[in-house]
Amino acid sequence: MADPPRDRHTGEDAGLAADRQPAPGMPRWVKVSAVIVAVLVLLLVLVMLISGGGHGPRRHWSGGAAGPAPRSSVSAVFTLSGGGLGDQPPSAASH
Amino acid sequence: MTLPPGVRKFTLTIHLSCSVGWVGAVVAYLALGVSAVTSHDAETVRAAWIAMELTGWFVIVPLAVAALLTGLVMALGTPWGLFRYYWVLITLMLTILATVVLLLHMPTVSSLADMARAADAADLRRLGGDLFHPGLGLVVLLAIMVLNVYKPRGLTRYGWRKQQEQRRKQHQQRTAPTR
């Protein structure tokens, strides 16, 4: 954001030229990026659903301030048999 | 409202420092996350989780918030505006998204760091790491950086309307009879 935007219409009739211009549509790079991001998000959601879900923003809100930890790490901790942190839920372990 | 050149440069310096620092801190966090996943040494895993929590709360979160706030000041205090150009608008949305996800994710990191503090060696080896969020976050931050460096063309409808208004005003000032 260092360089201020340049105005290409700096001549005497800049105002009139601007009035004649049609409203711009969405640039191609925005459309292409949107499609790519949509495809990636869709793939990510599919992978999560196939792998059993359990991830998403709701995961952080459902368990109080601390919220449960990622399945990959916490599920292992919860299944530990006795001792260590096996009996301690993440919310109890938080501040 | 346009910032005076001196204030603009000062804000830009802070903004760049925070933004680039945010990227660097996430890379450091990722290195710790990889270490927590790959290391077979329990103490290394414990140290990695504690360091990840500290790095997250005391480096990444402040840098993220500062980058967002200084970015807002830079956008509103320069002719770029906040909603006039697609690249500024997308940068804003991605920065807000990254900051919100970070703030939602950090309590989970704290929980796991607390577990790591108390866990024995066997539990620590099964604790795992944290690669998904910082990995995705890094991709988003690099995308923001590319947008900010290249500044691809494209006015939003709002930006176009504002530009038309400015040109009309300029034209009226030029053609107004002088007394």
Of A13-17, A45-49, A57-61, give the lowest mean pLDDT range.
A13-17
Q: Chain A: residue nearest B174 by CA?
A: A12
Q: How far is CA B63 from CA B8, B94, B105, in A?
A: 19, 15, 16
Higher-scoring residue by pLDDT: A73, B67 = B67
pLDDT per position as a tens digit, B12-47: 999 999 999 999 999 999 999 999 999 989 999 999
Q: Would you say residue B149 has pLDDT above 70?
A: yes
Average pLDDT over residues B137-157: 95
pLDDT per position as a tens digit, B39-71: 989 999 999 999 999 999 999 999 999 999 999
Which among B122, B126, B170 has CB closest to A15?
B170
Residues of chain A in contact with residue B174, where contact means CB-CB under 8 angstroms, are 12, 15
Could you tell me how far CA B165 lies from the centroid of its own chain?
Answer: 32
Tokens of B51: 């360091």
Q: How far is CA B102 from CA A38, A94, B92, B176, in A?
A: 21, 17, 15, 54
User: What's the pLDDT at A61?
Assistant: 54
H helices of chain B, in order, are 5-38, 42-55, 61-76, 86-118, 121-125, 132-150, 157-175
Side-chain half-sphere CA neighbours of B160 within 13 A: 16
Which among A2, A14, A77 has CB closest to B123?
A77
Decide if A70 touches B, using CB distance below 8 A: yes
Q: Would you say residue B175 has pLDDT above 60?
A: yes
Q: Would you say residue A66 has pLDDT above 90?
A: no
Nearest in space to B28 (alpha carbons), one of B138, B150, B118: B138
Split at pLDDT 50, 70, 90, the class of A4 is low
Q: Could you give the number of structural domains in chain B?
A: 1
User: What's the pLDDT at B129?
Assistant: 83
Structural domain harbouring B136? 5-175
Question: For a pLDDT cut of 90, what percent of chain B falls above it?
Answer: 81
User: What's the pLDDT at B125?
Assistant: 81
User: What's the pLDDT at B172?
Assistant: 86
Average pLDDT over residues A59-64: 52
